[in-house]
Amino acid sequence: MGVMPGFVDPAPALRESFLAAVAEFRDDRDHPVPWFVGDVDPAALSDPAAFEAYVARVLGERTEAGVRAGFVPMTTLWWADGARFLGRLAIRHRLTPALREDGGHIGYDVRPTARRQGHATAMLAAALPVARRLGVSRALVMCEVTNTASRRVIERNGGVLIDVTGRKRRYWVPTG
């Protein structure tokens, strides 16, 4: 019996599994490479000290003091089943004009070998009360018009369609 999957804070102990997942995302032919994958240098992060620094930076992004220029504070959570990293989700604490058009409050990614097992649906459900505690009463969540899986994740979590632009479907998802 494995451990029930759930959110954990980013942690150095998940380094090997996280890096294996990054390699899977890079090889994924079904979806574009997620932002967080493009944001890391896997070769450099195989060094435990560098990985610890990465984890510290991601945790630091939860406060105004730790964000880089142009970013708003964001809470990144990892979805894990014991020692196995399965996916990640990030909650931006507030919107900017750019995030209203692209990105929204919440983004999530499930590693290719863990897909179609309900993880993304469960992750978004688990994130809604966290978002609420962060002061987000309704979360803007969006997906590419072609991303059927993400669309289902949002709709299963109560997403109410706002509009469909050329590329995106945008939803409000109530957090309470």
Ligand X SMILES: CC(C)(COP(=O)(O)OP(=O)(O)OC[C@H]1O[C@@H](n2cnc3c(N)ncnc32)[C@H](O)[C@@H]1OP(=O)(O)O)[C@@H](O)C(=O)NCCC(=O)NCCS
- The verdict on 149 binding ligand X (CB under 6 A) reads yes
Contact region for ligand X (CB under 6 A) — 35-43, 57-65, 71-79, 112-120? 112-120
Smallest gap, in angstroms, from Cβ of residue 152 to ligand X? 4
Looking up tokens 């309704």 gives 138
- The verdict on 117 binding ligand X (CB under 6 A) reads yes
52 φ, ψ (degrees, to nearest 5): -60, -40
* Residue nearer to ligand X on the CB measure, 50 or 72: 72
* Residue nearer to ligand X on the CB measure, 38 or 48: 38
Neighbours of 48 (CB within 10 A): 11
| CA 10 – CA 21 distance, rounded (Å) | 14
Instruction: Round the CA-based radius of gyration of the chain to a whole number and report it.
Output: 16
| CA 11 – CA 9 distance, rounded (Å) | 6
Contact region for ligand X (CB under 6 A) — 36-44, 53-61, 116-124, 125-133? 116-124
Contact region for ligand X (CB under 6 A) — 10-18, 57-65, 69-77, 141-149? 141-149
Neighbours of 165 (CB within 10 A): 12
- The verdict on 115 binding ligand X (CB under 6 A) reads yes
* Residue nearer to ligand X on the CB measure, 67 or 149: 149
Q: Residue 71: what residue type?
A: F
Of 105, 98, 90, 103, the residue nearest 137 (C-alpha): 105
Q: At 68, list the tokens.
A: 């880089």
Instruction: Classify 105 as helix, strand or coil.
Output: coil
Residue of the chain from 6, 130, 152, 162 that contacts ligand X (CB under 6 A): 152
Q: At 91, list the tokens.
A: 């909650």
Contact positions with ligand X (CB under 6 A) in 30-59: 31, 34
Residue of the chain from 17, 121, 157, 175 that contacts ligand X (CB under 6 A): 121
- The verdict on 76 binding ligand X (CB under 6 A) reads no
- Positions in the binding site for ligand X (CB under 6 A): 31, 34, 107-110, 115-121, 143, 147-150, 152-153, 156
